[in-house]
Amino acid sequence: MIKRFVLCMALVGGPAHAFTLEFPGPAINTVAPVPARASYGLPTGPWTGHGETGGAVPTDAINGTVERAAWAIDTPKLATLDLMAALRAQLVAAGFSVVFDCDTTTCGGFDFRFAIDVLPEPEMHVDLGDFRFLSVRRSTAQGPEAIGLMVSRSTARGFVQMTRAVADAGPALFAATNRAADGLALPLTPRPILPALGTMEGLMTGGAVVLQGLDFGTGAAELTDGRYAALAALAAWLAANPDKTVALVGHTDASGGLDGNIVISKRRAASVRTRLIEAYGVPGAQIEAQGVGYLAPIASNATEAGRQKNRRVEAVLTSTP
């Protein structure tokens, strides 16, 4: 029994494109595709490097419209090799070119899995000893289109996650004028680009602050590209207080096991530390990276709103007078 799914991506400024995916067995769509304006780092090679903060997966950033979806497939006897082969053939037939193709070992194993964006359990199950990944891309009228495909399985089912991105310029950000309808000039009030140092005063009064607005996908360890007001404020505070040190502490929600969550929480903190050093010029000696997984929640894990609050990185003051 073959089940077909059609993924439609509504693109700004252009027609919607549909992509049909056929599975070699009964399939349940565990996460429905919802197009959104976002960025996707398409993996282009395996995990490289050693140590907790010394490695990475090379990616090609696709900025535009992104959708993610996942399926559980009733194929108890079908190996991940065969499941990926069937899907790979469809993508190639649709005009995609293979960018990167790997199995558990050649991908980089555990490190690769936790360095890329993977949807959470149970919607997307990844066996750390048996998974495969495929990156493909093709050209469209809107711009480059890329797909990242993760395939794994449990004892009874196969699991597939597809992340699809189409690069496009998007809508105009705004139309600005400093004149009212009657032609009178309106005064323009400058808005600060960076928050004041006072936003970090919680470090001295409460010993810790949550770094608001950091963009991590569920299951992803790398901070997405862009400038972050919270990091700019922390960097400015550290520059103004060169005798102070902080620990960046990563936290997760309670989805998945503790060991994996501790690893990903520390990698998120390490990613923030690297960004502060490389993009904001913070001395490495002033910041360290740690992770505690789901052991220190600030909200209930019983709701999605609570889980979102629990997925965070905090700056904790570690220096003493």
Residue 214 is assigned to a structural domain of this protein = yes
Domain end among 148, 167, 186 = 167
The model's confidence at residue 264, banded by pLDDT at 50, 70 and 90, is confident
Same domain? 8 vs 152: yes
pTM above 0.85? no
* 287-291 and 246-251 beta bridge pairing: parallel
Per-residue pLDDT at 219: 53
CA distances from 196 to 248, 272, 273 (A): 20, 20, 21
Q: What is the CATH number for 7?
A: 3.40.1000
Structural domain includes residue 156:
yes
Length of the chain in terms of residues written? 321
Q: What's the average model confidence in pLDDT over 230-237?
A: 87
pLDDT tens digit sequence for 289-316: 999 988 988 888 888 888 888 888 999 8
Instruction: Report pLDDT digits (tens) over 78-96.
Output: 899 999 999 999 899 888 9
Query: Are the beta carbons of 78 and 25 closer than 8 angstroms?
Result: yes
| pLDDT given for residue 199 in this prediction | 56
On average, the pLDDT of the chain sits at: 79
Q: Sorting pLDDT into bands at 50, 70 and 90, what band is 249? A: very high
Give domain status of residue 176, yes or no.
no
Distance CA 43, CA 4 (A): 26
Are residues 28 and 145 located together in one domain of the fold?
yes
- Is residue 250 within 8 Å of 266, Cβ to Cβ? yes
Residue 172 lies in a domain: no
Question: Considering its fold, how many domains does the chain have in total?
Answer: 2
Confidence of residue 246 (pLDDT cuts 50, 70, 90): very high
Neighbours of 151 (CB within 10 A): 27
Q: What is the DSSP letter of 33?
A: -
> What is the enclosing helix (H) or strand (E) of 305?
helix 304-310
Contact criterion met (CB below 8 Å) for 144 and 166: yes
CA distance 265 to 262: 5
Of 146, 167, 188, the one marking the end of a domain is 167
**Which CATH number goes with the domain that contains 261?**
3.30.1330.60
- pLDDT for residue 186 is more than 70: no
Q: How confident is the model at residue 12 (pLDDT cuts 50, 70, 90)?
A: very low
- From residue 223, alpha-carbon distances to 40, 41, 119, 218 in Å are 11, 11, 16, 11
What residues contact residue 90 under an 8 Å CB cut-off, 6+ apart?
21, 22
Residue 184 belongs to a domain = no
Same domain, 163 and 245: no
Residue-number span of the structural domain to which 268 is assigned: 197-317
Instruction: Report, as an integer, the average pLDDT of 103-123.
Output: 90
pLDDT at position 175, please? 40
User: Are residues 279 and 241 both part of a single domain?
Assistant: yes
- In whole angstroms, give the CA distance from residue 278 to residue 280: 6
The answer to whether residue 55 is domain-embedded is yes
Confidence category of residue 227, pLDDT binned at 50, 70, 90: confident
d(CA 58, CA 118): 16
The verdict on 121 and 81 lying in the same domain is yes
Are 144 and 212 in a shared domain?
A: no
The predicted pLDDT at position 127 comes to: 92
Residues 134 and 257 in one domain: no
Answer yes or no: is 69 within a domain: yes
Query: 127, 159 in Cβ contact below 8 A?
Result: no
Query: Distance between CA atoms of 134 and 85, rounded to whole angstroms?
Result: 10
For residue 174, which amino acid is it? F
Q: pLDDT value at position 133?
A: 98
CB neighbours of residue 139 within 10 Å: 11
- Please report the pLDDT score of residue 285 as a whole number: 92
Contacts with 41 (C-beta within 8 Å, 6 or more apart), sequence order = 59, 60, 61, 62, 116, 117, 222, 224
Is residue 182 one of the residues assigned to a domain? no
Nearby residues of 224 by Cβ (< 8 Å), 6 or more positions away: 39, 41, 215, 216, 217
| pLDDT for res 31 | 84
